[in-house]
Structure 1
Amino acid sequence: MNRPSEELLHKTLENRATAAEAASVAEWLATDSGQAWASRYIGRDFDHREACGDCEQAEVDSERIFTRIKSTLTRGRRRRILFRVAAVVIPVVLVLGVALRLDRQVGGIFSAAEYDEFVVDRGRRTQCLFQDGSIAYLNSESKIIYPVKFGLFERRIRLEGEAYFKVEHNTRRPFVVEFEGGEIRVLGTSFNVKAYRGDDIVAVTLDEGRVVLDGRSGSFELTPSEQLLYDRRSGEGRIVRVGDAMRYSIWKDDVILFRDTPLGEVLETLSRWYDVHFEMTQLPPQPISYTFTTDNTLLDNVLHEMELISPVRFERSRSEIRVSFR
Structure 2
Amino acid sequence: MSKQSPHIVTNELLAKYFAGEASDAESAAVMMWVAESAANEEAFVQQKMLWEDLGAVMTDDATTHTSFDVDAAWANVKTAKATAVSNQRKLERRNPWIMRIAASLVLLGGITYFLRSYFAEVQMTEVASASEIINVDLLDGSHITLNEESIIQYPEEFAANLRQVNLKGEAFFEVEPDTVKPFVIHAGPAIITVLGTSFNVKSSAMEDTVAVFVATGRVSFSVGTQEVILTPGEKATYTAKSGLLASTGGSTSTGVDQFWRTRRLSFAGHSLPDVIDAIEEAYFVDIELENEQMANCRLSVNFENDSLNNILDVIALTLDLKVSKSGNVILLKGTGCPEN
Q: 1:212 to 1:322 in 2, by over 3 A?
A: closer
Provide the rounded CA distance (Å) in 1 between the counterparts of 2:325 and 2:250: 36
What corresponds to 1:266 in structure 2?
A: 279
Structure 1 counterpart of 2:191, from 183, 186, 190: 183
Provide the rounded CA distance (Å) in 2 between the counterparts of 1:232 and 1:262: 27
C-alpha contact 1:129 1:136 (8 A) present in aligned 2: yes
Please state whether the residue corresponding to 1:266 is helix, strand or coil.
helix
Residue-by-residue CA offset, 1:76-119 (whole Å, 9 max, x unaligned) = xxxxxxxxxxxxxxxxxxxxxxx9xxx9xxxx753463331322
Please state whether the residue corresponding to 1:294 is helix, strand or coil.
strand
Deviation at 1:143, TM superposition (A): 1.0
What corresponds to 2:264 in structure 1?
A: 255
Provide the rounded CA distance (Å) in 2 between the counterparts of 1:226 and 1:324: 31
Please state whether the residue corresponding to 2:310 is helix, strand or coil.
helix
What corresponds to 1:146 in structure 2?
A: 153
1:208 aligns with 2:220: no
C-alpha contact 1:150 1:156 (8 A) present in aligned 2: no
What corresponds to 2:120 in structure 1?
A: 110
Which protein is richer in helix relative to its size?
A: 2
Kindly tell me the number of residue pairs found equivalent between the two proteins.
218
Counterpart of 2:145, as a letter, is Y
Provide the rounded CA distance (Å) in 2 between the counterparts of 1:134 and 1:168: 5
Deviation at 1:215, TM superposition (A): 1.0
C-alpha contact 2:236 2:246 (8 A) present in aligned 1: yes
Structure 2 counterpart of 1:119, from 126, 129, 132: 129
C-alpha contact 1:225 1:244 (8 A) present in aligned 2: yes
Structure 2: which 5+ runs fail to align? 1-57, 70-113, 334-340
C-alpha contact 2:255 2:265 (8 A) present in aligned 1: no
Deviation at 1:242, TM superposition (A): 8.0
Counterpart of 2:152, as a letter, is I
What corresponds to 2:63 in structure 1?
A: 51
Provide the rounded CA distance (Å) in 2 between the counterparts of 1:310 and 1:197: 40
C-alpha contact 1:190 1:207 (8 A) present in aligned 2: yes
Q: What is the root-mean-square deviation of aligned Cα atoms in Å?
A: 4.2
C-alpha contact 2:152 2:166 (8 A) present in aligned 1: yes
Provide the rounded CA distance (Å) in 1 between the counterparts of 2:251 and 2:316: 29
Please state whether the residue corresponding to 2:282 is helix, strand or coil.
helix
Counterpart of 1:234, as a letter, is S
Q: 1:136 to 1:120 in 2, by over 3 A?
A: farther
Please state whether the residue corresponding to 2:214 is helix, strand or coil.
strand
C-alpha contact 2:135 2:143 (8 A) present in aligned 1: yes
Counterpart of 1:270, as a letter, is Y
TM-score with structure 1 setting the length:
0.51
Counterpart of 2:126, as a letter, is D
1:173 aligns with 2:200: no
Residue-by-residue CA offset, 1:299-324 (whole Å, 9 max, x unaligned) = 432232244347563569xxx97634
TM-score with structure 2 setting the length:
0.50
Residue-by-residue CA offset, 1:15-56 (whole Å, 9 max, x unaligned) = xxxxxxxxxxxxxxxxxxxxxxxxxxxxxxx99x8333x454
Mapping 1:225-244, distance limit 5 Å: 225-239=233-247
1:293 aligns with 2:321: no
Percent of residue pairs identical: 23
Deviation at 1:208, TM superposition (A): 3.1
Deviation at 1:294, TM superposition (A): 0.5
Provide the rounded CA distance (Å) in 1 between the counterparts of 2:249 and 2:283: 26
Q: 1:210 to 1:55 in 2, by over 3 A?
A: farther
C-alpha contact 1:257 1:294 (8 A) present in aligned 2: yes
C-alpha contact 1:279 1:322 (8 A) present in aligned 2: yes
Which structure is richer in relative contact order (CA contacts within 8 A, separation 6 or more)? 2
Please state whether the residue corresponding to 2:120 is helix, strand or coil.
coil
Provide the rounded CA distance (Å) in 1 between the counterparts of 2:250 and 2:277: 22
Deviation at 1:237, TM superposition (A): 2.9
Deviation at 1:177, TM superposition (A): 1.8
Residue-by-residue CA offset, 1:204-261 (whole Å, 9 max, x unaligned) = 2323332211214422222344332433332323337789869465533331235543
Q: 1:246 to 1:51 in 2, by over 3 A?
A: farther
1:218 aligns with 2:210: no
Deviation at 1:158, TM superposition (A): 3.0
